[in-house]
Amino acid sequence: MNSQPPACSPWPEIVDVSQVVSAGLSLLALVAALYAIVKTNRDLARERRVAHELELIRGLLQVRDQVEWKRYVRNLRAQLLMVPGSMDFPMMRAATEARASKDALVAFAARYPHAPPLHVPECWSKRAAIAASDGVLLDEAVEAIERRLSGRTG
């Protein structure tokens, strides 16, 4: 009979530790992959939103080509209502009262003191004509495009 104690091998402990480490690394890789998926989805959604808003802005500028002025103003107001937020096109929103902020209404009244009174829908076309002839629509469109391309949406 052999009375010597069995030799202790370090391999079982090494295998156990390596399994724990590999499980931890697998979990870390899974978390990193999930983060990448979420970030990609968010970026894709932002890109789709920006492309849609740029298409709306392009539509605003194409509305100018319409011959009949009152029809132009109605379509302009509808297009302005589709552009999200109230940061873009403040003067044109004030001219047509398309979700204009109070600051924009005050700024419009100050910039065009001889314009027809605000809050009178029959005067939208006259106020829009004043603002459009001043180049406001084009200037505000350029600002809105630059804002979107730089990543600052309103």
Domain ranges, ordered by start, for the chain:
16-150
DSSP class per residue in 87-121: SS-HHHHHHHTSS--HHHHHHHHHH-TTSPPTT-G
Residue 78 buriedness (CB in 10 A; 0-12 / 13-18 / 19+): middle
pLDDT score, position 58: 83
pLDDT score, position 152: 57
Give tens-digit pLDDT for 96-139.
888 888 898 888 888 888 887 766 767 777 777 777 777 888 88
d(CA 102, CA 29): 51
Give tens-digit pLDDT for 62-94.
766 666 777 777 888 888 888 887 788 888 888
pLDDT score, position 67: 61
d(CA 77, CA 124): 9
Q: Which residue has the tokens 């600002």?
A: 143
d(CA 139, CA 87): 14
pLDDT score, position 2: 59
Q: What is the pTM of this model?
A: 0.62
pLDDT score, position 3: 63
pLDDT score, position 127: 77
Name the CA dihedral angle for 49, 52, 56, 61, rounded to a multiple of 10 degrees.
Answer: 110
pLDDT score, position 30: 94
Above 60 in pLDDT, residue 31? Answer: yes
